[in-house]
């Protein structure tokens, strides 16, 4: 275990301490203790920037299951470092914000910070794991921990619903992604992402390549809220605002973006990858922005805006892959879309994180997030208003904010994709810039709604639950830092060009084009009067007009189908599954053990019988079988008669004696087969069993005579004959197809030598299989204690009644 592994697992380890800190230091907000960890991790990861700028990568491996090729290989390159810094940096600001947002007297801070640390560790594991199985393990930890965080206020029905919805959809996608990972392993015989990338030329034509691509994108799309899986994100807004600011702006929803970026060296350049990623991304951008405008809750607006922004980043990653099929491309042509995606990934974390915190402040200080009740807060909350201006205008893509720079590059990538002559883009590629431009207009509109519907207009104190005032400075520090970064990254993008963005790009591009090719990132605000600038001017003009006339055209949303929404489809699907599963369960859960045994035996007959037939697994070789003697035949008849007697006996005593005759006959078989130790063990066990049966049945009510005779049941006869036949065939087949020496010879040779015991059965049970015997005894002991407890309870109740 190396220091890098410790850094990844540190949040999990620290989470163990949180309940004790909460218990013994109640006078101090637990967040102050937790804050130390993400800051320390951010500083630790920050030191790798120099290595990444030099083109180095860090790889450290800890053995886990080496026999299956599953090791915990931590891998830091430019892309992984970018996400690690976002996870720890934004995480530090969110925890600082939560200290002032969550009351230490009213909230269960121990559980909140345990869940938050679990999520932080899971995200670090996702972005810093080279092994697919390890990555998937952490991936599902993000779903689990986000479920707990979203449902933190579990007494609220909407919180429970949102948490369940997010987990159902993201875990569904995660399971499909696991299938894609397994397919990659079948193609390459390795779980290492780096080794898979090296084998890309050999697997592109493999029949599993496209299915693996589709399944992995399912996982990415569900986690990053792409259409049609975005429906979980708006409902997840029921989480506390610090959770929304962390999970739904900078980390969890970016996990799918990370997967697409990380697997681009494997799948990018194929038409399937281009069309799925870019088309779903650009449509998600439009759909999210279109639906954001009609929302009246501030967090709902931010939720749909997040969906839109994620679609924008996804579209840029998809469009950037199209250039890989061109024979001759220059650096700028190749990198513009992917560069814009990486840059906007950072910008979105800054402005969206600040906006979520602003909404939390508004909710905290006014008691509502409903824009119909808000307004006129500009003079009351000037600092919060200033932060919202910076964040919203950056999201709208206006200068002088960092969102303008990445949005201009986005427009550039959309315009250029229409000029490509691959994948039939020369005919339908024009749709990309058109949809991007329309979606940007809606983005501008909802950005203005966030600012001016909240802070401008008429002040309505009668609609507010509390008297509004500016938030305490502690709650403002984090959004102020993020808003400051929005401005700094606009005026000084060089701070990111060579330190963060270029290494992140280098983790993708050289693996596609060859490590010898080098490119340089240059970001600057002015590109002259070009198509992208004219598109931006058009967005602003039409966006301002549309915002001012919002009440005139907002009614168009009434024409959208209300009964055929994806949310209603999701709810109907769950109801259908619930009803159908209830019907199926009531059908087979009859409450009778005989029915359950019938299901088990029928399944056994069908599966094993079909396998024997299809695999030609049955063969009969009697050459090494000893002849059946007279005594063995007599004992077999006695056992069959004893078994039949048990079934038809009219008294318990007769059944117990008949059952005992079966066991004692079996011990005689051991005597005939010259196994006195087995015979002695069987005799002892059978004697104890018979005695216990007699003692137990002595205390039961008197055995009632059957009022009617046993009826013949054809189904039971068929099942009985089927089970007997299958077990007999399996025994004969196993005895006839021995391909190696039986293990019995090992026990014969080593029982006395290694264990010092002459009774081979006892040695096997006590020494060679000691743990099995110990666990069996433990289970029986627990069952005995449970039975004893129930008997004592019943006796005590009877004594109290008496």
Peptide bond before residue 471 is cis, with ω within 30 degrees of 0? no
B/e letters for 553-580, b = 16+ CB within 10 Å, e = fewer, are eeeeeeeeeeeeeeeeebeeeeeeeeee
Per-residue pLDDT tens over the stretch 578-594? 999 999 998 888 888 88
Using the predicted structure, report yes or no on whether residue 36 has a pLDDT greater than 70: yes
Q: Which residue has the higher pLDDT, 753 or 453?
A: 453
Phi, psi of 373 (to 5 degrees): -105, -10
* DSSP character at residue 377: -
Phi, psi of 561 (to 5 degrees): -65, 125
Residue with tokens 């090791």: 71
Q: Which residues contact 357 (CB under 8 A, 6 or more apart)?
A: 97, 241, 245, 387, 475, 478, 479, 482
How sure is the predictor about 7, in pLDDT bands with cuts at 50, 70 and 90? very high
Using the predicted structure, report yes or no on whether residue 702 has a pLDDT greater than 50: yes
Is residue 604 helix, strand or coil?
helix
What's residue 91's pLDDT? 96
Highest-confidence range of 105-114, 352-361, 608-617, by mean pLDDT? Answer: 352-361
Percent pLDDT > 90 in the chain is: 63
On the 0-12 / 13-18 / 19+ scale of CB atoms within 10 A, 325 is: middle
Is residue 58 helix, strand or coil?
strand
Q: Which residues contact 491 (CB under 8 A, 6 or more apart)?
A: 400
What's residue 624's pLDDT? 67
What does the alpha-carbon distance between residue 393 and residue 450 come to, in Å, rounded to a whole number? 10
Q: Which residue has the higher pLDDT, 347 or 766?
A: 347
Average pLDDT over residues 616-628: 73
How sure is the predictor about 751, in pLDDT bands with cuts at 50, 70 and 90? confident
Average pLDDT over residues 537-553: 96
- Could you write out the DSSP letters of every residue in 464-524? -SS---PPPHHHHHHHHHHHHHHHHHHH-THHHIIIIIHHHHHTTHHHHH-TT--------
Q: Which residues contact 46 (CB under 8 A, 6 or more apart)?
A: 85
Phi, psi of 709 (to 5 degrees): -70, 155
Per-residue pLDDT tens over the stretch 119-151? 999 999 999 999 999 999 999 999 999 999 999
Identify the weakest region by mean pLDDT among 254-263, 399-408, 445-454, 682-691.
682-691
Nearest to 133 by CA among 231, 39, 211, 65: 65
What's residue 331's pLDDT? 45
How sure is the predictor about 708, in pLDDT bands with cuts at 50, 70 and 90? low
Nearest to 417 by CA among 408, 425, 409, 427: 425
How sure is the predictor about 118, in pLDDT bands with cuts at 50, 70 and 90? very high
Please state, in angstroms and as integers, the Cα–Cα distance from residue 678 to each residue in 276, 394, 634, following that order. Answer: 66, 82, 20
Average pLDDT over residues 620-628: 73
Nearest to 412 by CA among 533, 315, 239, 293: 533
What's residue 257's pLDDT? 96
For 16-19, the CB contacts below 8 A with 24+ separation are: 18/110, 18/113, 18/114, 18/117, 19/110, 19/114
What does the alpha-carbon distance between residue 485 and residue 483 come to, in Å, rounded to a whole number? 5
How sure is the predictor about 328, in pLDDT bands with cuts at 50, 70 and 90? very low
- Could you write out the DSSP letters of every residue in 634-671? HHHHHHHHHHHHHHH-SSHHHHHHHHHHHHHHHHHHHH
Phi, psi of 446 (to 5 degrees): -70, -25
CA atoms within 13 A on the CB side of 759: 12
What does the alpha-carbon distance between residue 264 and residue 276 come to, in Å, rounded to a whole number? 13
How sure is the predictor about 471, in pLDDT bands with cuts at 50, 70 and 90? very high
Using the predicted structure, report yes or no on whether residue 173 has a pLDDT greater than 70: yes
**What residues does 480 pair with on adjacent strands?**
none
Question: What are the tokens at 742?
Answer: 């039986």
What's residue 681's pLDDT? 82
Average pLDDT over residues 319-330: 63
Asked whether the beta carbons of 119 and 220 are under 8 A apart, the reply is no
- Could you write out the DSSP letters of every residue in 91-115? HHHHHHHHHHHS-TTTS-HHHHHHH
Per-residue pLDDT tens over the stretch 184-197? 999 999 999 999 99
Sign of CA dihedral 314, 319, 324, 330: negative
What does the alpha-carbon distance between residue 247 and residue 150 come to, in Å, rounded to a whole number? 9
What's residue 711's pLDDT? 67
Average pLDDT over residues 98-111: 91
What's residue 330's pLDDT? 47
Using the predicted structure, report yes or no on whether residue 390 has a pLDDT greater than 60: yes
Using the predicted structure, report yes or no on whether residue 333 has a pLDDT greater than 70: no
Peptide bond before residue 400 is cis, with ω within 30 degrees of 0? yes
Average pLDDT over residues 454-470: 91
What does the alpha-carbon distance between residue 144 and residue 129 come to, in Å, rounded to a whole number? 18
Is residue 723 helix, strand or coil?
helix
Q: How far is CA 47 from the centre of its chain?
A: 30
Stated as kind and residue range, the H or E segment containing 203 is helix 200-203
Q: Which residue has the higher pLDDT, 765 or 166?
A: 166
Phi, psi of 582 (to 5 degrees): -65, -45
**What residues does 131 pair with on adjacent strands?**
192
What does the alpha-carbon distance between residue 631 and residue 329 come to, in Å, rounded to a whole number? 89
∠ CA 493-495-500, nearest 5°, is: 100
Mean pLDDT for all residues in the chain: 89
Q: Between helices 431-455 and 298-322, what is the axis angle to 10°? A: 160
Question: What are the tokens at 443?
Answer: 């983005």
Helices and strands in the chain: count of H runs, count of E runs: 35, 2
What does the alpha-carbon distance between residue 576 and residue 487 come to, in Å, rounded to a whole number? 50
Q: Which residue has the higher pLDDT, 408 or 693?
A: 408
Using the predicted structure, report yes or no on whether residue 514 has a pLDDT greater than 50: no
Sign of CA dihedral 308, 310, 312, 315: negative
Strands 70-76 and 58-65 come out as antiparallel
Per-residue pLDDT tens over the stretch 200-233? 989 999 999 999 999 999 999 999 999 999 999 9
CB count, 10 Å around CB of 408? 23
What's residue 518's pLDDT? 57
Average pLDDT over residues 539-551: 96
CB count, 10 Å around CB of 288? 29
How sure is the predictor about 519, in pLDDT bands with cuts at 50, 70 and 90? low
What does the alpha-carbon distance between residue 802 and residue 799 come to, in Å, rounded to a whole number? 5
**What residues does 192 pair with on adjacent strands?**
131
Average pLDDT over residues 688-713: 71
What does the alpha-carbon distance between residue 722 and residue 277 come to, in Å, rounded to a whole number? 53
Per-residue pLDDT tens over the stretch 233-281? 999 999 999 999 999 877 899 999 999 999 998 998 789 999 999 999 9
What's residue 512's pLDDT? 42
Using the predicted structure, report yes or no on whether residue 32 has a pLDDT greater than 50: yes
What does the alpha-carbon distance between residue 179 and residue 638 come to, in Å, rounded to a whole number? 54
What's residue 750's pLDDT? 86
* DSSP character at residue 627: P
Please state, in angstroms and as integers, the Cα–Cα distance from residue 60 to each residue in 74, 435, 585, 623, 685, following that order. Answer: 5, 44, 49, 58, 55
Using the predicted structure, report yes or no on whether residue 601 has a pLDDT greater than 90: yes
What does the alpha-carbon distance between residue 349 and residue 352 come to, in Å, rounded to a whole number? 6
How sure is the predictor about 716, in pLDDT bands with cuts at 50, 70 and 90? confident
What's residue 427's pLDDT? 77
Nearest to 358 by CA among 291, 269, 300, 298: 298
What's residue 579's pLDDT? 92
0.75 exceeded by pTM = yes
């Amino acid at each position: 275990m190396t220091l890098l592994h410790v850094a990844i697992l540190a949040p999990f380890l620290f989470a163990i301490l949180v309940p004790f800190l909460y218990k013994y230091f109640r006078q101090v907000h637990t967040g102050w203790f937790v804050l130390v960890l993400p800051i320390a991790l951010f500083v630790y990861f920050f030191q790798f920037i120099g290595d990444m700028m030099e083109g180095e990568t860090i790889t450290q491996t800890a053995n886990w299951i080496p026999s299956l090729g599953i090791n915990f290989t931590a891998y830091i390159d430019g892309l992984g470092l970018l996400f690690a810094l976002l996870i720890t940096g934004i995480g530090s600001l969110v925890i600082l914000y939560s200290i002032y947002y969550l009351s230490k007297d009213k909230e269960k801070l121990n559980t909140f910070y345990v869940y938050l640390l679990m999520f932080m560790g899971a995200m670090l594991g996702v972005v810093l794991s080279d092994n697919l199985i390890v990555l998937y393990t952490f991936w599902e930890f993000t779903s689990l921990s986000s479920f707990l965080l979203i449902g933190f206020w579990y007494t609220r029905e909407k919180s429970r619903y949102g948490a369940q919805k997010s987990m159902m959809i993201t875990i569904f996608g995660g399971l499909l992604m696991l299938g894609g990972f397994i397919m990659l392993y079948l193609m390459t015989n390795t779980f290492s992402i780096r080794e898979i990338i090296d084998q890309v030329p050999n697997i592109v034509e493999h029949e599993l390549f496209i299915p693996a691509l589709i399944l992995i994108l399912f996982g990415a799309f569900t986690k990053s809220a792409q259409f049609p899986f975005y429906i979980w994100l708006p409902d997840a807004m029921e989480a506390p605002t610090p959770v929304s600011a962390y999970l739904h702006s900078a980390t969890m929803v970016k996990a799918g973006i990370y997967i697409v970026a990380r697997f681009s060296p494997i799948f990018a350049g194929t038409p399937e990858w281009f069309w799925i990623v870019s088309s779903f991304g650009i449509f998600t951008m439009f759909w999210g922005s279109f639906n954001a405008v009609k929302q009246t809750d501030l967090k709902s607006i931010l939720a749909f805006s997040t969906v839109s922004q994620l679609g924008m980043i996804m579209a840029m990653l998809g469009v950037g892959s199209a250039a890989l099929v061109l024979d001759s491309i220059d650096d700028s042509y190749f990198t513009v879309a992917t560069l814009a995606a990486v840059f906007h990934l950072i910008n979105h974390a800054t402005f969206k994180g600040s906006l979520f915190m602003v909404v939390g402040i508004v909710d905290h200080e006014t008691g509502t997030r409903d824009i119909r009740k808000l307004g006129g807060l500009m003079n009351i909350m000037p600092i919060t208003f200033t932060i919202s201006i910076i964040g919203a205008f950056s999201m709208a893509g206006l200068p002088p904010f960092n969102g303008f720079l990445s949005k201009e590059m986005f427009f550039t990538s959309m315009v250029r994709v229409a000029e490509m002559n691959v994948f039939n883009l020369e005919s339908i590629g024009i749709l990309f810039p058109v949809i991007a431009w329309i979606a940007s207009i809606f983005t501008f509109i909802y950005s203005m709604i966030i600012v001016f519907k909240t802070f401008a207009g008429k002040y309505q104190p009668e609609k507010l639950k509390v008297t509004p005032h500016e938030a305490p400075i502690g709650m403002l520090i984090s959004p102020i830092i993020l808003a400051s970064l929005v401005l700094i990254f606009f005026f000084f993008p060089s701070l990111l060009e060579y330190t963060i963005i270029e290494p992140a790009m280098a983790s993708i591009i050289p693996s596609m084009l060859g490590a010898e090719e080098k490119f340089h990132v240059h970001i600057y605000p002015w590109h002259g009067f070009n198509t992208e600038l004219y598109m931006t001017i058009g967005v602003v003009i039409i966006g301002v007009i549309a915002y001012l006339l919002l009440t005139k055209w907002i009614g168009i949303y009434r024409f959208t189908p209300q009964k055929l929404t994806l949310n209603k489809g999701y709810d109907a699907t769950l109801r259908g599954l619930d009803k159908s599963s209830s019907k199926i369960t009531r059908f087979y859960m009859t409450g009778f053990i005989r029915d359950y045994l019938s299901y088990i035996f029928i399944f056994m007959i069908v599966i094993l019988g079909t396998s024997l037939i299809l695999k030609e697994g049955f063969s009969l070789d009697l050459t090494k079988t000893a002849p059946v003697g007279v005594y063995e035949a007599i004992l077999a008849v006695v056992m069959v008669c004893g078994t039949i007697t048990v079934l038809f006996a009219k008294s318990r005593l007769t059944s117990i004696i008949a059952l005992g005759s079966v066991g004692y006959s079996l011990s005689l078989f051991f005597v005939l087969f010259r196994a006195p130790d087995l015979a002695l063990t069987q005799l002892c066990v059978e004697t104890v069993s018979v005695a216990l049966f007699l003692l137990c049945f002595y205390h039961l009510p008197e055995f009632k005579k059957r009022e009617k005779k046993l009826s013949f049941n054809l189904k039971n006869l068929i099942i009985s004959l089927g089970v007997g036949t299958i077990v007999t065939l399996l025994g004969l087949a196993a005895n006839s197809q021995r391909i190696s020496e039986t293990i019995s010879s090992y026990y014969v040779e080593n029982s006395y030598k290694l264990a010092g015991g002459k009774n081979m059965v006892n040695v096997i049970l006590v020494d060679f299989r000691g743990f099995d015997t110990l666990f069996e005894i433990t289970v029986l002991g627990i069952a005995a204690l449970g039975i004893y407890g129930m008997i004592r309870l019943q006796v005590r109740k009877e004594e109290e009644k008496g």
